[in-house]
Every structure is written in structure tokens, then in C-alpha cells.
Chains A and B, each alone.
Chain A
């Protein structure tokens, strides 16, 4: 089930500069694992032991996955995933 994943500027060094890449998985966690297999190292920029990193936002279509089922959110064919780092500071 290929889905489209939009990659933010800061992570494009992992994807060879590509803004939009394809990945597969039946859940967000599966998609992240597949991304990491294709672009080694990108996975740990997105998740840590406790799950999705606090200052990384992931959207399934238009919805923040934190309001869905987090990494367990089901992903279907032709869904679109957008990764955006939080804009935050002190």
C-alpha cells in the first residue's frame, strides 16, 4: 500500500533532497519503519523509545495523528502523510 510522505526541509538530507517520497505500511509505525529502511537514519529523527518525538508533528491527510491513534494510526492506500517539525522555542 504505497502512501505519499511529505518530507520537511530539515530531513531532506536523508531523502537525497526529495520533498515527497513513497513508503508502505498498514499503520503509521509501519510507514516509519519502511521509510527508515529506504532512508537509513530518518526513523530515529521521528520516533524515540516513547513513541513519536514530542517536537515532530505527523499528519495523516489533514489530521494530526496525536488526535488519531498516534503511531498505531491505520494507513490506507493513497493516503498522504505530512511530517512537520514543531515551530517552538523558549
Chain B
């Protein structure tokens, strides 16, 4: 199960809408061992594509150095799908490399850049196996 604050959910959705129709991506780091996402880090999609995302490699190194310095891990790795459902694609599964992370997908296919209902789901992706998990949104 992923437990996450409403503010962090809103931040991911806002990022996905801002970058629509390209895919948005980022991390929510949290203290190691806590499984609690706390620090929102939107990343640049170096691919700038509606069908692909990739963290810029220099940004990636900085991100992991910062997390190491703070004793954090990537609790959530999120990205958006802009024309399809919020479910991991074949490439998402092939490249997933953080077995401890919650992979969150946001779909903006219904509303694009506008406000409105959104789809947000969370998955574990381990050795090519996808398992959906419930998302519990808490106020604080």
C-alpha cells in the first residue's frame, strides 16, 4: 500500500498537467526505511516525448547524491501517460530498476492540461512482475 498526502498527490497531478502532452516524471523521496514519501522532486523529461520519459543523466546523479546525503530513498517514482491509461507500459516494466519503490502513474488522457478528474494508480514492479497496490491519501 502507498500512503501519501493530498498535497503530494496534487503536486504530481499538477506536474503531469503542466507537461501534457509530453510525459512528466519525478521522484518523491523519503527517509530510508520509512516507506513515507515526503520530498517532492519534479525531474526534467530529457526525452521530451508524449510516449517516453527519461531522467537527464546529470540530474540523475545529482538526485541520487542528494538523497544519499539526506539518508533518503526514492519512495515514489512517478510519471504520466498522456494518451493511455495509468498502467505500466512494456517499457516501464522493462526499465524499472527500483524494486523498493512505488511506481505511480498519472494519466492525463481525459483532461489534458485542464482541471478535472484524473487517474492515479500505484504499482510495484519487481523482476518484470507488476503488482497494483491501494493508494491511501491522507490529509497531512
Binding site for B on A (CB under 8 A): 8-10, 55, 57, 59, 62, 64, 66, 82, 84-90
Contact = CB atoms under 8 A, between A and B. Distances in A.
Nearest to B64: A84
Contacts of B98: 9-10, 87
Interface of B: 25, 27, 43, 47, 51-55, 57-58, 60-61, 64, 77, 79, 88-92, 94-100
Nearest to B105: A89
A24 to B, nearest CB: 23
B57 A89 contact: no
B61 A89 contact: no
Contacts of A88: 47, 52-55, 91, 95
Nearest to A86: B54
B108 to A, nearest CB: 15
Nearest to A11: B97
A84 B66 CA distance: 14
A59 B61 contact: yes
A88 B23 CA distance: 11
Nearest to B62: A62
Given A57-B57, A59-B61, A89 B79 contact: yes
A64 B58 contact: yes
B57 A86 contact: yes
Contact of A62 (B61, B79, B92): B61
Q: Which 4 pairs from chain A and chain B are nearest by CB? A: A90-B91, A85-B97, A89-B92, A88-B54
Given A87-B77, A90-B92, A64 B55 contact: no
